[in-house]
């Protein structure tokens, strides 16, 4: 009785599913770091402050003359050889803010064959094409541009949208001035694009009745069957923040009719086979009576855990033999450095260069450190964190495998090495700013962006690694701890963690790490990078000549803080930026933890969204327990948040 019924409904379901025009797509109501896995972010693009930053979001030299692209990771099918064509709808919210008196250059929604940014597509090219591809069929890119600068005579004005086909010279462009919409006014602008396979219609703003642009268009004439969708943007000497705050995209599925018949045949065939096997299965079941089902389930999933681990981005478990071979049996020639808990070697796994840390067998803390690293950063990924690729624990050996960063650690570039009497070429101010911003993003992510808050506890120049393009990556999580719910899981550890000179005054008293102690160490790092000098000893003990925080505070009191800037920069920096960064560093090093800004505020200051926090002219004395903040600029998220172990404490 049941069989024919089940069969009919199964066949019906399959046929219905195939007959329906299926649509696919995605929805990002906002952007968080975890969305990175679904996107292709080019070098100059990032996710920050809840949005896609198509071009860099940090003020200064690093913003100028950039091109970037952010695309959805999976390409979509636009058309088929049989003449079937997809239709799509997309809605996104842009927010563009000028960073120079006149903004530049613009951003665009693009459909493209190639996810890579064309070289030299900064400036007037909007990341769409470069001078070689412009006007050629090789470009294979169709764009809807939001142009904020009149960069060549044919360009309409400095506030228009345009339809660009394999070129930055628009096929049609429309000024937004008449509608009272100004692209670079730092306002959210909603854009709806509808393409029904014959016409392209674009709405900008809240008016969904009168499209700004409506053009007949057959994308299959210019684009390959499969394309990437997303955004491109650029800056020139005129800069702006090119943000996309939300984005949804739906596209109908293109299916060949021939293949659809084949699919229906295959589907009907499969249903028949399924029915027959069910019949056999039931007969078998009746025959064997019991035990069958349980075994089968277990056999098809021999090790669920293994399957999950193998599938996700979890660090890989390596064999000791593999790592020994990769490093030439831990050949001293391959030694990259020596840390507190072990030695780091360069190795080659497959074709990939890696850094392998062998935890010293003598160190009892080494084992703890090993566990801390695997559990805290093993599952966290961020472009400003050194990636842990794998680990190995065999007998008494504990090893960690990291991505290899050819440029080594930051300290080499900002300090004079007394031992060898040498220094790598010093970093320009633009690079230093982007290093500071990179570390700030990493730390904000650890404090506010992960499921559980992670404290790094050992932020310092030698723990910041530099990639080939000098992207800063925070490493060495040996002292890191995860905070779960309202408790610090390790807060009772008596060991004094950290490095002298980077430790907040209260941590010496309490021996405890908090988000505020991380912020303090970050402040010291900021000052080091700007001043090009080592932190010196403890702030409470040393006078201002020996200690960077005291020294700079003194300069600040005298109103000559710029004298603190690294002399090796030869004065090549923007004074306001230097001053802002130095004051931000001092604010982070406030002796009273409650007066330090949160990493969120730090990021806002670095992007120019917020002014630097107020800092008292005299360095306040360290008192314990901390006094409530004496000015209004502090961020109450730290005090109201889960990490405020101070409130219930009294001093000793
Ligand atoms: C971002 O969107 C997600 C839903 O995808 C939502 O749960 C979350 O609260 C949003 N975050 C913010 C900051 O709006
Ligand atoms: C980032 O921008 C710079 C300057 O325009 C450019 O040299 C570099 O190629 C860009 N990176 C990418 C991936 O486009
Ligand atoms: C896309 O589809 C989702 C449902 O899957 C719907 O909620 C949304 O409104 C659609 N978006 C557009 C732009 O059509
Ligand atoms: C942005 O443009 C406005 C109006 O043109 C101008 O007043 C403002 O100073 C500009 N912003 C910056 C950061 O230059
Ligand atoms: C770019 O291509 C267009 C054709 O689409 C052409 O008219 C224009 O001169 C080109 N511009 C440059 C700078 O090569
Ligand atoms: C951009 O600025 C640099 C240095 O200030 C200058 O040499 C160059 O001519 C400027 N480029 C344009 C297109 O204005
Ligand atoms: C796009 O929107 C149009 C009009 O609202 C609708 O008819 C069409 O089905 C939508 N397409 C997709 C793929 O959602």
Nearest atom of ligand 1 to the alpha carbon of 32: 1
Q: Are residues 558 and 621 in the same domain?
A: yes
Average pLDDT value for residue range 346-350: 89
Q: Is the CB of 120 under 6 A from ligand 5?
A: no
Percent of the chain with pLDDT over 70: 78
Ligand 1: residue of 29, 51, 188, 637 to mutate (most ligand atoms within 8 A of CB) is: 29
Would the pLDDT of 108 be above 80?
yes
Query: Rounded to the nearest 10 degrees, how much is the dihedral formed by the CA atoms of 571, 576, 577, 580?
Result: 120
Q: Are residues 88 and 161 in the same domain?
A: yes
Q: Is the CB of 107 under 6 A from ligand 7?
A: no
Average pLDDT value for residue range 384-405: 86
Would the pLDDT of 236 be above 80?
yes
Which one is predicted more confidently, 288 or 586?
586
User: Residue 620 belongs to a domain with what CATH number?
Assistant: 1.10.510.10
Confidence of residue 473 (pLDDT cuts 50, 70, 90): very high
Q: What is the pLDDT of residues 550-579, one digit of tens each?
A: 889 999 999 999 999 998 888 889 899 999
What residues act catalytically? 458
User: Residue 144 belongs to a domain with what CATH number?
Assistant: 2.60.120.200
Average pLDDT value for residue range 216-242: 95
Confidence of residue 184 (pLDDT cuts 50, 70, 90): very high
79 occurs within a structural domain: yes
299 occurs within a structural domain: no
Domain count, the chain: 4
Helix (H, G, I), strand (E, B) or coil at 245: strand
The reported pLDDT for the residue numbered 646 is 28
The reported pLDDT for the residue numbered 499 is 76
The reported pLDDT for the residue numbered 643 is 31
User: Residue 345 belongs to a domain with what CATH number?
Assistant: 3.30.200.20
Q: Are residues 358 and 457 in the same domain?
A: no
Nearest atom of ligand 4 to the alpha carbon of 99: 13
The reported pLDDT for the residue numbered 542 is 44
Q: Which residue range(s) make up the domain with 387?
A: 304-403
Which one is predicted more confidently, 625 or 160?
160
Would the pLDDT of 311 be above 50?
no
Average pLDDT value for residue range 284-310: 44
Q: Which long-range contacts (C-beta less than 8 Å, at least 24 apart) are formed by 489-497?
A: 491/645, 495/365, 497/457, 497/458
- Name every protein residue with a CB atom under 6 angstroms from any ligand 4 atom: 98-101
- The CA 246 to ligand 3 mean position distance, Å, reads 13
Helix (H, G, I), strand (E, B) or coil at 610: coil
Contacts of 551 by beta carbon, 8 Å cutoff, 6+ apart: 536, 544, 545, 564
From 141, 191, 193, 189, select the one nearest 168 (Cα to Cα): 141
Would the pLDDT of 645 be above 70?
no
Taking CA atoms, 142 is separated from 134, 166, 219, 366, in Å, by 12, 6, 8, 55
Q: Is the CB of 194 under 6 A from ligand 3?
A: no
Helix axes 515-531, 429-444, angle to 10 degrees: 170
Q: Are residues 589 and 510 in the same domain?
A: yes
Say what the pTM is: 0.51
574 occurs within a structural domain: yes
- The CA 66 to ligand 2 mean position distance, Å, reads 6
Ligand index nearest the alpha carbon of residue 101: 4
Q: Are residues 80 and 213 in the same domain?
A: yes
The reported pLDDT for the residue numbered 12 is 55
Tell me the range of 232-246, 306-320, 408-422, 628-642 where mean pLDDT is highest. Answer: 232-246
Ligand 1: residue of 30, 33, 444 to mutate (most ligand atoms within 8 A of CB) is: 30
Q: Are residues 238 and 273 in the same domain?
A: no
Q: Are residues 6 and 128 in the same domain?
A: no
Ligand 4: residue of 57, 101, 580 to mutate (most ligand atoms within 8 A of CB) is: 101
Question: Is there a binding annotation on residue 395?
Answer: no
The reported pLDDT for the residue numbered 635 is 39
- The Cα–Cα gap between 299 and 304 comes to 11
Q: Are residues 479 and 559 in the same domain?
A: yes
Q: Are residues 28 and 91 in the same domain?
A: yes
From 529, 528, 578, 525, select the one nearest 556 (Cα to Cα): 578
Would the pLDDT of 188 be above 90?
yes
Q: Quote the mean pLDDT of the chain.
A: 81
Q: Are residues 375 and 444 in the same domain?
A: no
- The CA 227 to ligand 7 mean position distance, Å, reads 19
Determine how β-strand 185-195 pairs with β-strand 388-394. Answer: unpaired
- 31, 65 contact by CB (below 8 A): no
Confidence of residue 299 (pLDDT cuts 50, 70, 90): very low
- Name every protein residue with a CB atom under 6 angstroms from any ligand 2 atom: 42-44, 65-67, 117, 119, 122
Q: Are residues 369 and 285 in the same domain?
A: no
Tell me the range of 336-340, 476-480, 485-489 where mean pLDDT is highest. Answer: 336-340
652 occurs within a structural domain: no
Indicate which residue's Cα is closest to atom 7 of ligand 7. Answer: 196
Confidence of residue 98 (pLDDT cuts 50, 70, 90): very high
108 occurs within a structural domain: yes
């Amino acid at each position: 009785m049941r069989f024919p019924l089940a069969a009919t409904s199964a066949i019906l379901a399959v046929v219905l599913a195939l007959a329906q025009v299926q649509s696919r797509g995605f929805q990002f109501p906002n952007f968080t770091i975890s969305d990175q896995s679904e996107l292709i972010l080019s070098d100059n693009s990032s996710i920050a402050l809840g949005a896609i930053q198509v071009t860099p979001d940090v003020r200064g030299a690093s913003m100028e003359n950039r091109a970037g692209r952010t695309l959805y990771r999976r390409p979509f099918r636009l058309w088929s050889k049989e003449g079937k064509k997809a239709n799509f709808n997309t809605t996104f919210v842009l927010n563009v803010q000028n960073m120079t008196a006149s903004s530049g250059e613009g951003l665009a929604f693009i459909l493209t064959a190639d996810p890579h940014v064309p070289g030299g597509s900064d400036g007037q090219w909007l990341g769409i094409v470069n001078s070689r591809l412009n006007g050629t069929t090789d470009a294979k890119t169709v764009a809807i541009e939001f142009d904020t600068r009149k960069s060549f005579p044919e360009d309409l004005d400095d506030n228009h949208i345009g339809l660009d086909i394999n070129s930055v010279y628009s096929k049609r462009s429309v000024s937004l001035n008449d509608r009272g919409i100004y692209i670079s006014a730092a306002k959210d602008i909603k854009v709806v694009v509808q393409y029904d396979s014959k016409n392209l219609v674009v709405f900008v703003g809240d008016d969904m009745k009168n499209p700004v642009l409506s053009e007949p268009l057959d994308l299959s004439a210019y684009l390959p069957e499969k394309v990437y969708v997303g955004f491109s943007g650029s800056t020139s000497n005129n800069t702006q923040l090119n943000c996309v705050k939300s984005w949804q995209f739906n596209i109908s599925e293109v299916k060949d009719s021939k293949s659809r018949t084949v699919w229906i045949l295959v589907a009907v065939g499969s249903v028949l086979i399924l029915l027959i096997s069910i019949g056999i299965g039931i007969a078998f079941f009746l025959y064997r009576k019991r035990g069958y089902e349980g075994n089968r389930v277990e056999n098809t999933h021999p090790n669920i855990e293994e399957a999950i681990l193998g599938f996700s981005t979890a660090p890989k478990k390596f064999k000791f033999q593999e790592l020994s071979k990769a490093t030439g049996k831990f050949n001293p020639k391959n030694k990259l450095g020596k840390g507190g808990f072990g030695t780091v070697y360069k190795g080659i796994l497959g074709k990939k260069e890696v850094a392998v840390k062998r935890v010293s067998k003598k160190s009892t803390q080494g084992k703890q450190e090993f566990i801390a690293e695997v559990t805290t950063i093993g599952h966290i990924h961020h472009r400003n964190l050194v990636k842990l690729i794998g680990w190995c624990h065999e007998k008494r050996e504990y090893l960690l495998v990291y991505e290899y960063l050819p440029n080594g650690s930051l300290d080499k570039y900002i300090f004079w090495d007394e031992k060898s009497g040498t220094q790598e070429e010093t970093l320009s101010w633009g690079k230093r700013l982007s290093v500071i911003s990179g570390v700030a993003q990493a730390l904000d992510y650890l404090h506010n962006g992960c499921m559980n808050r992670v404290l790094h506890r050992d932020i310092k120049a030698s723990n910041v690694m530099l990639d080939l393009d000098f992207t800063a990556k925070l490493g060495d999580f040996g002292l890191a701890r995860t905070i779960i719910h309202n408790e610090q899981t390790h807060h009772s550890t008596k060991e004094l963690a950290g490095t002298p000179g980077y430790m907040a005054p209260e941590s010496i008293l309490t021996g405890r790490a908090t988000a505020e102690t991380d912020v303090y160490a970050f402040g010291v790092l900021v000052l080091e990078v700007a001043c090009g000098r080592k932190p010196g000893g403890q702030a409470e003990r040393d006078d201002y000549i020996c200690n960077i925080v005291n020294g700079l505070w003194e300069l600040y009191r005298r109103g000559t803080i710029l004298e603190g800037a690294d002399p090796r920069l030869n004065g090549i920096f923007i004074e306001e930026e230097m001053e802002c960064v130095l004051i931000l560093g001092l604010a982070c090093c406030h002796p009273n933890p409650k007066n330090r800004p949160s990493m969120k505020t730090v990021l806002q200051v670095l992007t120019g969204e917020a002014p630097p926090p107020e800092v008292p002219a005299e360095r306040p004395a360290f008192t314990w327990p901390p006094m409530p903040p004496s000015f209004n600029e502090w961020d109450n998220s730290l005090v109201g948040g889960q990490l405020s172990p101070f409130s219930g404490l009294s001093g000793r």
